[in-house]
Amino acid sequence: MKDSRSDSQSVDSALHGWLSRLRQARFTQLLIGLVLLLFVSPFIGTFSSELGKTFATLMVVFLLATVLIAAALAVSDDQKHTRITLALAGTCLILTMLAQLTGSPSLRIAQELLTIGFLIHVIRLIVRTLFRQQHVDNDTIAASLCGYILIGVTFAVVFSLVMDIDSSALSFAKSEPSSELAIHFGDQHTATAIYFSFVTLTTLGYGDITPISMPARMLTTAEALIGQLYLVILVARLVGLHIATEMKTRQSQSNLKPDQRRHEDSVNQ
């Protein structure tokens, strides 16, 4: 009886430790999901004819599910917020599936609007977390990268919504293959939407996809401006945190008595 109870306690403690470590690397996990979305979706779009439209769409939805669930878990501080955020992420995924399977324009627009709202909510919570941090660690750096990448993903959905409302909002270069002449987030054309968004966010501007309508032009300008401001403000914040942490560490070491300092040096060695 005692052995079974001790085994149960050891399993619980091991599970608690694993969850604690998982929680500490929450933004690292989200970053991994985002990197997979960025670098796997182009291959899905390239081989969509061999894979089949339905299977290619399912693969993109799976990648999107990884990102949305990881985002929901990363920004939630308690069980209540976790349930709410996971419910929103699940609703986004269900609408994405229904929109792709039925081909309904209204469902697609509803899915894009909800996804945009969810991603903006996640970005807001990430930025809030970054400004509440008192020291810089690996997960803090991962959080700052996640925020920047999520801005690009959010605008990819925004441009997809713009194209669903006005198909002439963006112009494609004539040299583009006909199979790639679409910006739809959530299907085999997801990579094209992400590509145009990040070309705009990083102010590369290759010119192969050009905004034509005034709303599209204003959105591209807004994305480029937001991307630059994010980098400037967040880099300044992280550098300031690092300098403050170093100053506190040096000040605490200078306040130590010589005996304590020698003891700490011997421990560190």
pLDDT tens digits for range 150-195? 999 999 999 999 999 998 899 888 655 545 567 888 777 888 999 9
Mean pLDDT lowest among 47-56, 197-206, 207-216? 47-56
Q: Specify the higher pLDDT residue, 1 or 243.
A: 243
Supply 118's token pair.
């969810």
Q: Is the pLDDT at 18 greater than 70, yes or no?
A: no
Most confident option among 17-26, 188-197, 236-245: 188-197
pLDDT for 15 equals 45
Residue type, 158: V
Q: What percent of the chain has pLDDT over 90?
A: 29
Q: Specify the higher pLDDT residue, 61 or 155.
A: 155
CB of 186 within 8 A of CB of 54?
A: no
pLDDT for 266 equals 56
User: Cα-Cα-Cα-Cα dihedral of 80, 82, 85, 91, to 10°?
Assistant: -100
pLDDT for 9 equals 55
The pTM of the full predicted model, rounded to 2 decimals, is: 0.81
Please name the residues in contact with 242: beta carbons below 8 A apart, sequence gap of 6 or more.
136
Angle CA 191–196–202, to nearest 5:
120
Per-domain boundaries in the chain: 17-250
pLDDT for 208 equals 86
Measure the CA–CA gap between 184 and 223, rounded to whole angstroms: 18
